[in-house]
Amino acid sequence: MSHLIAPSLLASDFANLQKECEMLNNSEADWYHLDVMDGVFVPNISFGIPVIEFINKHTLKPLDVHLMIVQPERYITHFKNVGANILTVHIEASTHLHRTLQAIKQEGMKAGVALNPHTNVEQLEPTLEEIDLVCLMSVNPGFGGQAFIEGTYRKVEKLKSMISKAGLETKIEIDGGVTSANAKQLVDAGADVLVAGSFVFKAENPSKTIADLKNI
């Protein structure tokens, strides 16, 4: 299967959010990537449940919600109710990860786990069978527009090997600093989903940029 593109609306024009949603609907984007930040787990505050509810009214594509928050287990039902299709929590913020993943699945969503750049993929081994999506942060989370961390390729290869050996179909998502310069190498290493924020929304022609990433 071809890799998926999930533009991150954190980099979009919030004053014209409906137009941005319509642009994505008419593009080759596969998912909407929505970064929820609480100012505690990461040093930034983005948007939350009301904004996602609004976005859901204007999208024709799955909502890929990435929770960069403490105690994510408290909000699982809330995000389901506003339209999340995939809900990703950080391993570093989840004291009882297995329980949280089960709760996400019980709500009918796909369950994702995100890893900060310093976190080893081996930490996923005990729960890998419960995980639909692993989001590897390729920048330090909190802000858009950061430079890609080159060590990400090795993490992708190692994780892909773990998934293959376990006979699973867990998807690998890359979040941070994705551009046309590294997209092909990421997919070749084993990435299934590419999140792109600034590279898409700051482009002169965002739809063409999405198409270029899709057709590398």
Q: Which amino acid is at 78?
A: H
H-helix or E-strand containing 137?
A: strand 133-137
Indicate if 38 belongs to the active site. no
* Ordered structural domains, the chain, with CATH: 4-214 (3.20.20.70)
How far apart are the C-alpha atoms of 165 and 114, rounded to whole Å?
A: 20
How far apart are the C-alpha atoms of 56 and 118, rounded to whole Å?
A: 33
Task: Look at residues 57, 47, 58, 69 and name the one whose alpha carbon lies nearest to residue 20.
Answer: 58
- The pLDDT, as a whole number, for residue 147 is 83
List 35, 64, 192, 212, catalytic entry: 35
- The pLDDT, as a whole number, for residue 38 is 96
List 30, 38, 64, 175, catalytic entry: 175
The DSSP secondary structure of 154-215, one letter per residue, reads HHHHHHHHHHHHTT---EEEEESS--TTTHHHHHHHT--EEEESHHHHTSSSHHHHHHHHHT
The DSSP secondary structure of 7-50, one letter per residue, reads EBGGGS-GGGHHHHHHHHHTSS---EEEEEEBSSSSS-B---HH
Q: Running along the chain, 216 residues long, what does each successive block of 10 average in pLDDT?
A: 92 96 98 97 94 97 98 98 98 97 98 97 97 96 79 97 98 96 97 96 97 96
